[in-house]
Structure 1
């Protein structure tokens, strides 16, 4: 467990970003591992979709069982999207962190979102206390990523986002993450303002990998994008069959079947 955490930590190199794809089930995890990715991370929205639910409608027990299944499916380090730690209070977040370590995870993320539409972001001081509790509970046995969620909730205040990330750094977070930043200027400002590896979420309009490397980014993840791309393929195939009565989807199905055959052969 600790060896995988150390391996995962070593993969975070500013200027040489770790490409961290987000599988949504055991099969996609094994395929991504076979394709040569050096680490994986779960996606809360992608996993929720496999259960027919929207994001944030998964329980802690479900998320940790899912993460443990991904860990068991591959030999590479796995980090988990643990949303807001499934708790408001630091003690509850610490319990989630301890259970994440017990699940064999090499890392996990904790965000400052509340999952409440009327009050979407935790108070800054409480958010930092929650990160500190997670770090203390992990005790170096997992890489703790602290997420500032402002820009996913309509709060486009870069100064506040940076201040939060700096407080998370002071609380001991290993990696810092502000999903929703898409411009080079925003990302450059974040990287220059902290002294920890920075993760960027690859969104439409985000600079390409080579440019993010030049900006000093250490990790790039995709969130639920791969999961929803797969569902988009399902919609396209089903629509073709229903509306046109043709089978052009077999071109993609053949490549997917080949990838699955290679990944599942052992």
Structure 2
């Protein structure tokens, strides 16, 4: 039987610049099963926005307990299909960061997405605080026996008009602190091709990009050299749009 540490090592090794790990983020048991059973699926990842929506909450209102309950169901699926699981832990829930990571590891989780935006204050953490929180998360996982825990460190600087050089400085600090990849998020603006190319060069390819259907293709992102691609709540939004459309067809027949 593969140990959790071995699973974490395997998950970390899937982050290959130029051969990116593609994650079709899930949010509940049925979405996790649907993705986990696919031969093309190498790992599972949650998206906090989608988890929140499944609980009739806004993303910023997703509390730790609700997130953990959802993750427990998904972790059971990941274990059944022998797939690594990484969880969107948002900003780490303040002083509960170690508690959250420890509980996730006990569920079988081998990685997290950790933001540098403080939901409580509405501000981005200082670089020093953000890097310290990455180290704290890794230490909490190591205390549970998982030394190769994967932290995908999100940097939100572009959302607030930061210069790309400042984002690069942040990202390098996050990697030095032990993050496996840096997730530079642009929300609706996305991340332009030139920005992706610059970030890939600066981070040695250790970059996570959110896939946008009207942006760079997965093949193009791979050719540029990114190590990880995620889709966030995109599939949930598509699925619910189809669900509503099909329901309306039936209801309209009355």
TM-score band, normalised by the shorter chain?
A: 0.7 to 0.9
Q: Report the TM-score when normalising by structure 2.
A: 0.87
Q: Partner residue of 1:17?
A: 20
Q: Secondary structure of 1:56's match?
A: helix
Q: Partner residue of 1:61?
A: 65
Q: Partner residue of 1:107?
A: 111
Structure 1 residue 150 displacement after superposition: 2.5
Q: Partner residue of 2:84?
A: 77
Structure 1 residue 202 displacement after superposition: 0.7
Structure 2: state its 5+ residue gaps.
none
Q: String of CA shifts for 1:54-111, please: whole Å, max 9, x gaps.
A: 1121221221222122111132001000000011x5xx32332222212210211111
Residue 176 of structure 1 contacts residue 196 of structure 1 at CA under 8 Å; is this kept in 2?
no
Q: Report the TM-score when normalising by structure 1.
A: 0.84
Residue 205 of structure 2 contacts residue 225 of structure 2 at CA under 8 Å; is this kept in 1?
no
Distance in 2 (CA, whole Å) between partners of 1:204 and 1:155 is 23
Q: String of CA shifts for 1:30-73, please: whole Å, max 9, x gaps.
A: 11112221101011011111111111212212212221221111
Distance in 2 (CA, whole Å) between partners of 1:214 and 1:240 is 42
Pair 1:141–1:15, CA change in 2 (3 A): closer
**Within 5 Å, which residues of 2 pair with 1:56-205?**
56-74=60-78, 75-87=82-94, 89=95, 92-116=96-120, 119-139=122-142, 140-151=147-158, 153-180=159-186, 181-195=190-204, 197-205=206-214
Distance in 1 (CA, whole Å) between partners of 2:204 and 2:138 is 17
Q: Secondary structure of 1:177's match?
A: strand
Distance in 2 (CA, whole Å) between partners of 1:227 and 1:154 is 27
Distance in 1 (CA, whole Å) between partners of 2:192 and 2:213 is 10
Q: Partner residue of 1:45?
A: 49
Q: Secondary structure of 2:246's match?
A: helix
Does residue 238 of structure 2 align to residue 234 of structure 1? no
Q: Partner residue of 1:26?
A: 29
Q: Secondary structure of 1:176's match?
A: strand
Distance in 1 (CA, whole Å) between partners of 2:14 and 2:148 is 15
Residue 25 of structure 1 contacts residue 70 of structure 1 at CA under 8 Å; is this kept in 2?
yes
**Within 5 Å, which residues of 2 pair with 1:218-233?**
218-233=227-242
Distance in 1 (CA, whole Å) between partners of 2:173 and 2:197 is 18
Distance in 2 (CA, whole Å) between partners of 1:24 and 1:134 is 22
Q: Secondary structure of 1:220's match?
A: strand
Structure 1 residue 4 displacement after superposition: 1.4
Structure 1 residue 148 displacement after superposition: 0.4
Distance in 2 (CA, whole Å) between partners of 1:137 and 1:78 is 17
Aligned equivalent of 2:9, options 6, 11, 16: 6
The number of residue pairs the alignment matches comes to 240
Residue 114 of structure 1 contacts residue 121 of structure 1 at CA under 8 Å; is this kept in 2?
yes
Residue 169 of structure 1 contacts residue 195 of structure 1 at CA under 8 Å; is this kept in 2?
no
